A and B are shown apart, each in its own frame.
Chain A
Amino acid sequence: MSADAHTVIEPTVDLIRRIRAGDAHAREQLLRRFLPLLRRWAHGRLPRRLRDLNDTDDLVQVTLMKALARLDEFDSAGPGAFLGYLRTALLNQVRDEIRRHQRRPEHAELDAELGEADAPGLLEQLVGSERVRAYEQALARLPKRQQGLIVMRVEFGMSYPEIAAEVGGTPDAARVMVARALVQLSRWLATD
């Protein structure tokens, strides 16, 4: 495996270190890496009315910028944690956005029609809000590192070489770690 896209990825922790040192290029790189990924992710989590491309882009960019601005506060819980952190920030942002949107009177009727306080995102439509909630709760019970692994593989659809670049080790090892984390997660899903 020589000069291939997935093998030359610089681990995010290294990028963050360089950004903290004031490296504008590293900042660019981080944006380029995560913007499309988070955009896609957010697209699946937002209600249809908010799923307009510009809205999604705005939301994701704002979140990413905020996260970068607060890098000093960000307490690195190890490799892979930054993505988990970004995801949480983005999820909060999505929820804020939905609440803000629902307060607008012109949408009151439509929301009433939908019959749900939380207008469902695509994911909720696909698997049901209950199941998504159970998943979120189970995820929150896991150690940060395992959360990161699951988010990278399941939610962001990253390949094992990409995950390995984030957390260290080989792609094979990353695959085993993801599997292990998923078994832990499924234990909490089963008890519900």
Chain B
Amino acid sequence: MPSSVEPNDPLERLAARIADDEPVDWQQARGRAAHAAALAGLRELERVVHGFRHAQLAHGEAPRAGRFRFGQLVAIEPLGEGSQGTVWRAYDPLLDLEVALKLRKIESGALAHAFLEEARRLARVRQANIVSVYGAAVHDGQAGLWTELVRGTSLAELLARHGPFPAEEVRGIGLDLAHALAAVHRHGLRHGDVKPENVMREVSGRIVLMDFGAARELDAANAPVVSGSLPYLAPEVLRGAAPTAASDLYALGVLLFRLLTGTWPYPADDLAGLLRAQDEGRRLRLTAIRRDVPRPLARAIEAALALDPARRPASALAFAALLAPPAPRFGGWRVVALAAGLAALVAAGVGLGVRREPAWQTELAFYRAEAHGSSALADGAAIRLGDRLSLALRSSRPVWVYIFDDDGSGDAAVLFPLAGLEPNNPLAADRAYRLPGASTSGALTWQVSRAAAREQFIVIAADRAQPALERAVAVWQHAAEAPATRGALALAPAPPAAELSSPALRAALDEVQRSDGAHVRRFTFTFPHAAE
């Protein structure tokens, strides 16, 4: 691991990298106009150092003290103390790869079994912002877990060196870590020790969540071991409750708060002071310390810091949705996580816009999410920026549903079906659906996130597949899945070439109705924007 103290001189920094077997970007070094002769000398040095390293590693006999073997791995040097053991830089001769090897003592066979079981679970968690697990084994009473060797600097070190982070960088870090935690939680694990010391930023900028030493199964019956650092422990954990996914979110909230302010939401000298500050609700306000933090970002972080776990974002993905930057365009719609509790309200859709026919019945109604539950939204009702909408739908026949929005600006958007969400076409007969549906984080809504004169929803219901429309939607959606998309929750702007314009949408829908009118129904709902 690179030391926390970097030499000041650029040549010395290069030399330190060479001494540490770190890759050196010679192109970049030259670009920095360092002395050419000095660089030539350092390149020569690098070759010699590599020679010594390979000569040392070429033969596996008699490992020296401090350089020992663990299975096929050769431990090279200690990198530091983890939560429950020592971490070593090690070499895997089979993969010809350097790895990080974490060792801890194991006293019993049962513990060894539990350790390997946990390692198996960790190995299944594959996500770009989580350190990759390569293997695990127990040898001679020592349990070892080896992972990719992350070469970078911890957020704690960056904070100590450069002070508080820019707000947009914190938002990006928050999004990356929320997605990382979502992957962890999906596998029934919790991290349990989310803090800046355990998050690395690689030279490439990649954010990596490290040190799963404290990760335990969520439903483990045994009493929790309080191993995280005090200020990052959720209030309920401090008071003896078992750590949960919600306590991971609290820790992430504290981490983001700290990156922005350099301090903690509840500044205290010890546990007693911390408990007192929480009991008295003496939390520092983010926006009071950092006025430049955008309000939505501050609100998202403060939501994660709620004392009551039930008031925190419902899941890591829900937190990611709160952190996500407002989608700038695409019909002004974002699909966001629905408040907990609303999902239970899904009921037979009745009400406005309903059309009945004896042979084929379809019922549909729009709803707006309220603080508690949701209320039906009559056609023509006024909506506001930030409103979160959903559509209740039931059909007496299996039905293919397509929902579009046209806000009168000339752009249109596909609101349903959405890739990666449930349900998908066709929807089953005689079942109450609430669209847009749900992701792993729970029920979702469409959120009004762009000012316009009105929103017009066009709902197409067909009792048989509509290949032409299907193809058109696929093309539009492919365009929407631009690389800027983060996760499944925010819709990104479409590249101009494939943009869905209002005229293109209307032409496509008219064509569908013209060719297969008997099997296609079209419903239109218009909601004017309320004057602010």
A residues whose Cβ falls under 8 Å from a Cβ of B: 1, 4-6, 32-33, 36-37, 39-41, 43-45, 53, 121-123, 126-127, 131-132, 134-135, 153-155, 157-162, 171-173, 175-176, 178-180, 182-183, 185-191
Contacts and interface: CB of A to CB of B under 8 A. Distances in A.
A126 B78 CA distance: 27
Contact of A176 (B5, B41, B48): B5
A142 B158 CA distance: 35
A44 B56 contact: yes
Given A158-B66, A175-B20, A179-B15, 20 more contacts: A4-B78, A32-B65, A37-B64, A44-B58, A123-B51, A126-B50, A126-B54, A127-B48, A157-B76, A159-B66, A175-B5, A176-B5, A180-B12, A182-B12, A183-B11, A183-B12, A183-B42, A190-B38, A191-B37, A191-B41
Contacts of B3: 160, 171-172, 175
B15 to A, nearest CB: 4
Nearest to B86: A4
B78 A36 contact: no
A185 B65 contact: no
Contacts of A180: 7, 9, 12, 15
Contacts of B438: none
Contacts of B81: 1, 4
Nearest to A180: B12
Contacts of A175: 3, 5, 7, 16, 19-20
Nearest to B58: A122
A182 B78 contact: no
Interface in B1-56: 3-5, 7, 9, 11-13, 15-16, 18-20, 37-38, 40-42, 44-45, 47-56
Q: How large is the interface on B (under 10, 10 to 19, 20 to 34, 35 or more residues)?
A: 35 or more
A81 to B, nearest CB: 19
Nearest to B49: A154
A122 B77 CA distance: 23
Contacts of A185: 41, 45
A152 to B, nearest CB: 10
A171 B40 CA distance: 28
Given A172-B5, A175-B3, A176-B12, A40 B38 contact: no
A189 B45 contact: yes
B59 interface: yes
Contact of B44 (A40, A43, A131, A153): A131
Contact of A187 (B38, B50, B55): B38
A179 B44 contact: no
22 contacts: A4-B81, A37-B65, A39-B64, A40-B59, A40-B62, A44-B52, A44-B55, A53-B62, A121-B55, A122-B58, A131-B51, A134-B44, A135-B48, A154-B48, A157-B53, A159-B78, A162-B66, A175-B7, A178-B15, A180-B7, A182-B12, A182-B45
B41 A157 contact: no
B137 to A, nearest CB: 20
Contacts of A162: 66
Contacts of B431: none
B270 interface: no
A176 to B, nearest CB: 5
A33 B65 contact: yes
B93 interface: no
Contacts of A36: 62-65
B101 to A, nearest CB: 14
A154 B11 contact: no
A69 to B, nearest CB: 23
What is the interface of chain A mostly: helix, strand, loop, or mixed?
A: helix
Interface in B513-532: none
Interface in B42-100: 42, 44-45, 47-56, 58-59, 61-67, 76-78, 81, 86
A179 B7 contact: yes
B374 to A, nearest CB: 56
Given A178-B19, A180-B12, A186 B4 contact: no
A145 B86 CA distance: 30
B51 A161 contact: no
Chain A to chain B: the 8 pairs with minimum beta-carbon distance, closest first: A44-B55, A190-B41, A186-B41, A36-B64, A159-B77, A127-B51, A182-B15, A179-B16
Contacts of B42: 182-183, 186
Contacts of A5: 65-66, 78
A43 B62 CA distance: 11
Contacts of A45: 55
Nearest to B59: A43
A48 B44 CA distance: 25
B52 A155 contact: yes
Interface in B379-394: none
Contacts of A191: 37, 41
Contacts of A32: 65
Given A176-B16, A186-B45, A53 B61 contact: yes
A179 B67 CA distance: 22
A128 to B, nearest CB: 8
Nearest to A51: B59
Contacts of B65: 5, 32-33, 36-37
A187 B44 CA distance: 10
A158 B11 CA distance: 22
A137 to B, nearest CB: 12
A176 B86 CA distance: 23
Contacts of B38: 183, 186-187, 190
Given A183-B12, A183-B15, A190 B44 contact: yes
A179 B13 contact: yes
A127 B44 CA distance: 10
Given A5-B66, A175-B5, A182-B19, A190 B48 contact: no
B79 to A, nearest CB: 9
Contacts of B13: 179
B44 A172 contact: no
A175 B20 CA distance: 9
Nearest to B4: A172
A159 B53 CA distance: 13
Contacts of B37: 190-191
A6 B44 CA distance: 31
Given A127-B51, A183-B11, A186-B38, A157 B56 contact: yes
A186 B44 contact: yes
